[in-house]
Amino acid sequence: MACRPPGSTSSYTVVIIPLRTSLYSLDALRFYLWIKRLKDLEKEKDALCSGLEFLDKTRLWYLHRLKENRAQQDNIETKNICQEVVAETQSCLLRSRIQRVNGSLGSVMAEPNATSTSNPSLHDAVADSDLRWHNTILTQEVSDKNRQISMLELEKDALLEQLDELQAH
């Protein structure tokens, strides 16, 4: 399947070539392996074309997010504190997801034989990526807990002030 515009249909051609020798001959095996390799290359090409299409969509998404980010930077003064906390939380989560995607793409591009399972550096890269993702999630959870603690401390201070006012009257 060649790279085609979205929405177009794909088709494959099946070729049957009779062999003059036995099905178990060396020529039959070579022919089978040749056809199998062609099929595998076609599947790889399909996956690459699909990846290119996805990358085009991803590029447009990144550009849209950049425009939104610029708009948010221009309007930062008009937000109140609650909106800022929510926006910060969403921004942190989005940033961690983007970093994970960027890391995955980087490891795919850096590893020419990414499909080879005999390469230990691929396992290390995957483990490293998983650890980074886990660290990002834990960091996010700690940030959330810290925000909750800060909010509770503010509420405690407000309640203590109210108590002092009530005792003063």
* DSSP result, 11-70: ---------SS-TTSHHHHHHHHHHHHHHHHHHHHHHHHHHHHHHHHHHHHHHHHHHHHH
Tell me the per-residue pLDDT of 15-55, one tens digit each, with 9 for 90 and over.
666 666 666 777 777 888 888 898 889 988 888 888 888 88
Most confident of 12-16, 107-111, 152-156: 152-156
pLDDT(1) > 50: no
Distance of CA 100 to the CA centre of its chain: 5
Tell me the per-residue pLDDT of 113-162, one tens digit each, with 9 for 90 and over.
555 444 555 566 667 777 877 787 888 888 888 889 988 999 999 999 99
Both tokens of 10, joined, read 């794909």
Is 71 within 8 Å of 81 (Cβ atoms)? no
Tell me the per-residue pLDDT of 51-86, one tens digit each, with 9 for 90 and over.
888 888 888 888 888 888 888 777 776 666 666 666
pLDDT at 144: 84
166 vs 29, higher pLDDT: 166
Both tokens of 87, joined, read 């926006």
